[in-house]
Amino acid sequence: MVKKASHHLKVTDFGNDFLWGVAIAAAQNEGAHDSYGKGPSIWDTFSKRNGRIKSSHNPYIACDFYHRYKDDLLLVKALGFKAFRFSISWPRILPEGGSKLNKEGVAFYHRMIDECLKLDLVPFLTLYHWDMPAALEKEGGWASHLLLKWFTRFATLCAEEFGDKVKNWIILNEPFGFTSLGYMLGKHAPGKRGMQNFLPAILNASLAQASGGQIVRSIVSKSRIGTTFSCSEVIPHTHKERDIAAARRVDVLLNRLFIEPALGQGYPREDFKFLDKLELYTWKYTKRMHFDFDFIGVQNYFPVVVRYSPLIPVLQAMQVKAVRRKVPKTAMGWEISPDGFYNIIKRFWSYEKVKEIIVTENGAAFKDKLMNGVVDDVDRIEYFHQHIRALLKAKQEGINVTGYFAWTLMDNFEWSEGYHARFGLVHVDFRTQLRTIKNSGYWFRDFLNSR
């Protein structure tokens, strides 16, 4: 149980223009994985491999959003949100990753976006939220030198197709997330490991991020272009110099590795030796990794506490160990820290070139129980309450944060956790696809209506 926040929170404290939204992603929600012309994504193939995803779950049906999007968008509306963040499934529109277009896939996104506009929901389109076409992964995926060519084709197509209707664009969802989990640690699709995969993947992701921004800006009139970064406050376990230095190395990885090249500062090499291997790339690419983003999407879930340890074999240059504190945690085992949320927003704002921040994801999984048609998820209510209060503090201190997206609309396919981790404001019964608004959903509705 989380400590209760006493202060009463009103939506009007954020001003009229502040944008409240809710986020989903294609691979986690759509389902219809092999119908209507869609090709397999890396998550479809990854989930066939033994032991990679809890209980051998897969994203084949997920929340069946593909068929139920109209009702689901009505839920977004009913909860009082003004904006809806979703992603385009790359293999739904380019099933083989090449130039062969799946018109049915394109038509689906047109229908869905039209429905958003009809309901007066502002669409936020994410180009890449982790579901690369499996066909491209066979040729090396994010680690391939062909990546930029593939991504250019995808981004151009989306901008040309949807640019008249969608003005808010997000190029990548958490490049550190998919490169580290997918190409360094092997925990996410495509399940690759090691520096030989990680280093080219981070370089390609940075280049794709900037060039994607340029493509969208050149095609879409009046666009607002952002990209998202995962981030965590990194706290040294003690004041000892070696713990502080360990925290600095982790901070480079978790918080600086992608935003600094995006802002035109190149890689943060001085604080972390392994990046020296990127020296080859640095001088050549610093300019090409830079794009003048209209907003930066901040995605925060937890802080991390680290200490020095010479014994950790994963990344030898790291020499760090995570410390587990006895503090309230979510069902993911993540520390709950509204202060950490506030601190990291402040930190990202301290970059001179960041003009505007939108919190593009924040939320929590808890062990929800559906009883007599009710999910009384008090912990999640408390989580949102405290984090939104921390956000208000940041805003009142003059940080230009203009929006907040809750993660997520409904329980969905939580990557390698399968359907075990529930993050939704709406409960989904995955056997029947029945939706039940959780009490946190009603809490949001009341908060958003507290005008």
Q: Which positions touch ligand GAL (CB under 6 A)?
A: 25, 28, 173-174, 177, 230, 361, 407, 414-415, 423
> Which parts of 147-243 are beta strand (E)?
168-172, 224-231, 234-236
Q: CB–CB of 150/94 below 8 Å?
A: no
Phi-psi region of 81 (alpha: psi -120 to 50; beta: other; left: phi over 0): beta
Point out the catalytic residue in the list 137, 161, 361, 382.
Answer: 361
Continuous H helices in 193-313: 195-219, 241-251, 259-262, 279-285
Active site (annotated) includes residue 382: no
Q: Could you tell me the smallest distance in angstroms from the CB atom of residue 302 to ligand GAL?
A: 10
What SS3 class is residue 185? strand
Point out the catalytic residue in the list 30, 161, 174, 382.
Answer: 174
Residue closer to ligand GAL, measured from CB, 292 or 417: 417
Q: How far apart are CA 361 and CA 84, in angstroms?
A: 12
Q: Could you tell me the smallest distance in angstroms from the CB atom of residue 421 to ligand GAL?
A: 7
Active site (annotated) includes residue 260: no
Biggest CA pair distance of the chain: 62
Query: For residue 128, what are the β-bridge partners?
Result: 172
Q: Could you tell me the smallest distance in angstroms from the CB atom of residue 339 to ligand GAL?
A: 20
Residue closer to ligand GAL, measured from CB, 66 or 176: 176
Residue closer to ligand GAL, measured from CB, 206 or 230: 230
Q: Could you tell me the smallest distance in angstroms from the CB atom of residue 330 to ligand GAL?
A: 10
Structure tokens given for 231: 């981030």
Bridge pairing between strands 19-23 and 304-308: unpaired
Structure tokens given for 421: 């981790």
Backbone angles phi, psi at 130, to 5 degrees: 80, 5
Q: Could you tell me the smallest distance in angstroms from the CB atom of residue 364 to ligand GAL?
A: 9
Q: CB–CB of 84/123 below 8 Å?
A: yes
Overall residue count recorded for the chain in this entry = 451
List residues with catalytic annotation: 174, 361
